Amino acid sequence: MWPSFSDGDVIECETYSTQEIEVEDLVVFLHPLKKNVTCVKRVKSILENGLFVQGDNSDPLASEDSHNFGPIKESAIIAILKS
């Protein structure tokens, strides 16, 4: 999530339950392809089949996000930080 956050930064989020997710919210979620990996990404669009999430780094090779693994399911979300 650089440049918004750096390695080691602590962010305070709400545990996700039923809050409405909006475009530009940050979500903490379980990586859909890598076991025991947690990600923090920004919601870029809300689709019928899930949420398209993307890192803030403008270099597309610097972030592993929905460009790589597709939309994430809402059930994968652990926490949310409203924009």
What would the DSSP string read from start to end of 12-78? --EEPSSPPP-TT-EEEEE-SSSTT-EEEEEEEEEETTEEEEE-S-S-TTS--SHHHH-PBPGGGEE
44: in domain:
yes
Q: Which domain holds residue 40?
A: 14-81
33: in domain:
yes
What average pLDDT does range 12-32 have in this prediction? Answer: 92
* Total of domains in the chain: 1
pTM of the full structure: 0.88
Write the CB contacts of 44 (distance below 8 Å, at least 6 apart in sequence).
23, 52, 53, 54, 66
pLDDT given at position 52: 98
8: in domain:
no
71: in domain:
yes
Q: Output phi, psi for 69, to 5 deg.
A: -115, 5
Q: Which two tokens stand for residue 22?
A: 């909006």
Check pLDDT > 90 for residue 47.
yes
6: in domain:
no
CATH of the domain at 60: 2.10.109.10
